[in-house]
Structure 1
Amino acid sequence: MGGEDKAGLIESQPIARVVGGRAEVRESGWGREEAVIRLDSSMFGPEALFGLEEFSHLEVVFFFDQVDSREIDRGARPLPGGPDGPLIGIFAQRSRRRPNRLGVSRCRITSVQGLDVHVTGLDAVAGTPVLDLKPYVREFGPHGEIRQPEWASVLMRGYY
């Protein structure tokens, strides 16, 4: 478990799974989705979640297990909806076809019960392996002005 092997690869294992919520990936309406993040009972007891209910939001690191390794993007591609648009590199987008297939999502905590964290707005489907949970702490958020290209705002309309 954990650590780094001689080839420089990082080992990791799921700490939880997404239960309920969406069964398939769609590109809109995630803000209404309700799901449960269920800790692995062979690794954790309920005490691992003590205090989490005091936070409003959670950052979830998960593995895009439904993305085939042959679908991974390593370069750039046009924006969705138009092959004539600008090319956008994989590290300038939030695509699930990332080289390490890692996703990061912020969602609202609705309750914590035993090994279950009930959330709204998690953009991961049922069965998704969860690698880490972190309470969202305001001081870890961005400082100063935030900027992004207009195309990013257009793409995200309706996502949440």
Structure 2
Amino acid sequence: MEFTIIGTVKSPITEPVDMNWGEVVSEIVLKPEYAPGLLGLDDFSHLMVLTVLHEAEYVPEKHLRRHPQERMDFPLVGIFAQRARHRPNRIGVTSVEIVEVTDSSVKVRALDAIDGTPVIDIKPYVPVYDRKDATIPEWMLEMMKGYF
């Protein structure tokens, strides 16, 4: 299976970090052939961005089970119980706020992707699909303090 890269992230952040993404404004610049697909997106306030975590390196012995952010005060959990970037399939998913839609790009706030990250899809955030009433463990709430 192959994915088509539809665009690239332009971001002031050039190195992966685990904190303070909330106010970062990035731009998703689409390839010209996909730009017409932005029609109507400006009617939404948020979207889901799917990226290729191109600088991540998954090492099963290190990443399949680990303490999130290497913090020993968090429980040992499997990769599928966390949102770490080092994954078997280096796919990132982030819900972001739309700042501006142009003819060929979308400016967004709180996209945790570095400059040059390939984008494989964007979809409008629709609460009826994307549940807000989800349950998450306490350690995840603690870990996310300061992330966005």
Question: 1:80 aligns to what?
Answer: 69
Residue type at the aligned position of 1:104: V
Question: 1:29 aligns to what?
Answer: 20
Tell me how many residue pairs correspond in the alignment.
Answer: 148
Q: Which has the higher contact order (CA 8 A, sep 6+)?
A: 2
User: Which of 121, 134, 140 lines up with 1:146 in the alignment?
Assistant: 134
What is the CA-CA distance between 1:78 and the residue it aligns to? 2.1
Larger Rg: 1
What is the CA-CA distance between 1:67 and the residue it aligns to? 1.2
Q: Does structure 2 retain, via aligned residues, the 8 Å contact 1:18–1:124? A: yes
Quote the RMSD (CA, aligned, Å): 1.9
CA gap 1:134/1:72 in 2 versus in 1, 3 angstroms: farther
Question: 1:6 aligns to what?
Answer: none
**Equivalent residues in 2 for 1:82-121, closer than 5 Å:** 82-83=71-72, 85-121=74-110
Q: 2:74 and 2:21 mapped to 1: Cα distance?
A: 26
Deviations along 1:88-138, one digit per CA (max 9) or x if unpaired, are 100000000010011000101011111110111111111000000001012
Q: Does structure 2 retain, via aligned residues, the 8 Å contact 1:58–1:133? A: yes
CA gap 1:85/1:122 in 2 versus in 1, 3 angstroms: closer
Structure 1: which 5+ residue stretches go unaligned?
A: 1-9
Q: Does structure 2 retain, via aligned residues, the 8 Å contact 1:73–1:90? A: no
Q: Does structure 2 retain, via aligned residues, the 8 Å contact 1:72–1:99? A: no
Deviating beyond 6 angstroms after TM superposition, the runs of 4 or more aligned structure 1 residues are none
Q: 1:142 and 1:119 mapped to 2: Cα distance?
A: 21
Structure 2: which 5+ residue stretches go unaligned?
A: none
User: Which of 48, 73, 76 lines up with 2:37 in the alignment?
Assistant: 48
Question: 1:157 aligns to what?
Answer: 145
